[in-house]
Chains A and B, each alone.
Chain A
């Protein structure tokens, strides 16, 4: 549904987006990650036809955004960064306006507005002027505008920004549900969110695409992924450490903490090797050592994010 090819954006002499390509299909929720200033919003502004491209091509549902802007724009709903809205209007008035711009007039328009008000829990403030809304409601009003016409494509720039925990949860559920039938791009800084709702994630750093894969793949890139954490009871570290080092498949042993007779270890094996936990279990049973914790680490997303984005910016400095 969304096809981005070699997109480039220059702000004067500054290269903000550097040959980024990706696709989003129907039924996919693409998480768009990257540090502040990486070029996420800039990319989204180009996808939606707000900013002209300095190079490359964007197709929305088969329509080139620069050559057939009207057809392309009719296919998506867009929540811009900071959720702008006409503050001098009421929530209802604003949504009615966007409905009529989308060609939903008369009864169809009224139905669409009602549905959006319900979905975004805005019934209670429907007649309130937008500039008196709290930040979360303001944000939801702009979100309501994006989903009002039930578009097949959604482009959402930080949709959970400024929402309370309940609303965040609800927003994620909503995106997940809609993601089954639509093609969605969501930018976010919350890594758990990517796991919770996205079927795929891309990371850009300094305008370049540095990762494109599933959240699970992202996790497995972590140095910790595949490591085993074990908490031993009634064993001194002096005795346990040398013993653990000899266990089949263990490469490094790290003592994380030792207190009240409990020693917490992290064991790393060779990259790509599985079954470390199983051989460790067999070893502990053989020794009759007690343990209160034994699990294989999934890898931490923030770890990977940190490694991927900071090495790349270091390279950038190097040039």
Chain B
């Protein structure tokens, strides 16, 4: 437990020791703002809710989260510090959890920086707080799922670019499988209802959707947690067998 905390602390410190963290946070906020206000027409909507804010998250995270996750293990491989880390008296699981938690906390911090948005909404109108809270929860879980996936792709390579591209592609599948225009297209092409529904069930869109509306279904939570655990577990196997 202590080892996990030590690893996480070092990882977090290394984010903020480099300009990458600040560049990331600024770009994160700019994109969030741009999509919510310009593309989503936040003000035209004229309703006190964050619909046009949350709706962009699955798409933005598709690019932003792999940018954080790509370095998790690829960097350790490239710098050869992996050898240092795995010859210290810690388990692979502790190392994975420590680094994952650090990345997730960092993303959580980035998400918290968007809080002025709901605060403005509260100031301007009288919004329903439920969907806001569950929306944020869903957004955080979704970021965690994407991060676990990009950590997984990162553990396979010493090249951050390869890691980034692979995880963007996987995250894109997770989004598109439940994106209505795509599912409708699949149906038109003659895919069976059951199949499309199954695919949509695997999609983050499907599970994030209901959370934006203020519903916390246990199945959605199970989905995100399973996805995260599966990715972390696979990372563990990869790092144990594929070291050199």
Mask for A210-236, Cβ within 8 A of B = 1, else 0? 000000000000000000000000000
Are B86 and A86 in contact, with the CB atoms below 8 A?
no
Interface pick from A18-26, A72-80, A297-305:
A72-80
Is B88 among interface residues, defined by CB-CB distance under 8 A?
yes
Q: A52-B241, A100-B6, A101-B3 are in contact. Are A84 and B90 (CB under 8 A)?
A: no
Interface pick from B13-21, B53-61, B122-130:
B13-21
Q: A89-B17, A101-B3 are in contact. Are A84 and B81 (CB under 8 A)?
A: yes
Which residues of A are interface residues toward B (Cβ below 8 A)?
11, 45, 48-52, 69-71, 73-74, 78, 80, 82, 84-89, 93, 97-98, 100-103, 129, 142, 145
- A–B Cβ pairs within 8 angstroms, 22 of them: A45-B83, A48-B87, A49-B86, A50-B87, A50-B243, A52-B241, A52-B243, A70-B91, A71-B89, A73-B89, A80-B80, A80-B87, A82-B80, A84-B79, A84-B81, A86-B14, A87-B79, A89-B10, A97-B6, A97-B10, A98-B88, A100-B2
Contacts of A69 in B (CB 8 A): 89, 91
Is B84 among interface residues, defined by CB-CB distance under 8 A?
yes
Are A80 and B91 in contact, with the CB atoms below 8 A?
no
Q: How far is A142 from B79 in the complex, measured between Cα atoms in Å?
A: 13
Contacts of A85 in B (CB 8 A): 81, 84
Contacts of B2 in A (CB 8 A): 100
Q: A11-B244, A84-B79 are in contact. Are A145 and B84 (CB under 8 A)?
A: yes
Q: A52-B241, A93-B13, A100-B6 are in contact. Are A84 and B88 (CB under 8 A)?
A: no
On chain B, the number of residues with a Cβ less than 8 Å from chain A's Cβ atoms is: 23
User: Across the two chains, which residue of chain A brings its CB closest to B87?
Assistant: A48
User: Across the two chains, which residue of chain B brings its CB closest to A94?
Assistant: B10
Contacts of A80 in B (CB 8 A): 80, 83-84, 87
Q: A48-B87, A93-B13, A102-B88 are in contact. Are A86 and B81 (CB under 8 A)?
A: yes
Are A73 and B13 in contact, with the CB atoms below 8 A?
no
Are B80 and A86 in contact, with the CB atoms below 8 A?
no
Q: How far is A158 from B214 in the complex, measured between Cα atoms in Å?
A: 60
Contacts of A145 in B (CB 8 A): 84
Q: A84-B79, A89-B14 are in contact. Are A49 and B6 (CB under 8 A)?
A: no
